Amino acid sequence: MMFAVSSLYFIWYEPVVKLVDSVSPITPRHIFLLPNQEQARIDTPISMAAAHDIAKRASGGAGVDMMRFFPRKNAYELRLFDPRDIDPHGRRMMVIDAFKGEVLSDRHITEGGAGNQFIAWQYPLHSGKGFGWPGRMLIFFSGLVLIVVIVTGVKIWLRKRILHRKIAP
């Protein structure tokens, strides 16, 4: 059931998020709440290296997992490592203005209601990374079991089909 739900989340992201949001409101990422600028700018006074340093200082020295520049938003979004992370990826999202160097938002993806928690757990559960090596091994063996079930099912179906052809003239 867990794989089915998380698979639906990955395949139909927007409808699943809307459904979850209707049950328990989800706090959207701040970068998507910023208005688009009329013209994309890449000549920002704050470089990626400077944004990285601002994030390190503002977070108390947290490591940066990933960062991305949004030219239509004139902002950087950084993912930082945090003790609240469910898996080995940084899930603390920080948004920095690319012109002023101000931290516009700093929150962990699990902050908020049950909807945020549910969405945050989809990747760690689907990949097994939420429970370290034991979780990954469980996912691996679940995949092997699925293959055995499929192969067994196809074999049974072929046997029945051959037997049915022999019996029915």
**Where along the chain do its domains lie?**
2-132, 133-169
CA dist 10 and 2 (Å) reads 12
pLDDT digit string, tens, across residues 129-163:
888 899 899 989 988 999 999 999 999 999 999 88
pLDDT at residue number 169:
64
Could you say which residues of the chain have pLDDT below 70? 169
pLDDT at residue number 4:
85
Question: Taking all residues of the chain, what is their mean pLDDT, rounded to a whole number?
Answer: 92
pLDDT at residue number 1:
84
Task: Give yes or no for a contact between 53 and 20, defined as CB atoms under 8 angstroms apart.
Answer: no
- Nearest 5°: the CA angle 114, 31, 17 is 35
pLDDT at residue number 44:
84
* SS3 category, 130: helix
pLDDT digit string, tens, across residues 24-38:
999 989 999 999 988
* Tokens found for residue 154: 């196809």
CA dist 3 and 142 (Å) reads 10
What does each C-alpha distance from 119 to 1, 60, 86 come to in angstroms?
15, 27, 12
* SS3 category, 66: strand
pLDDT at residue number 158:
95
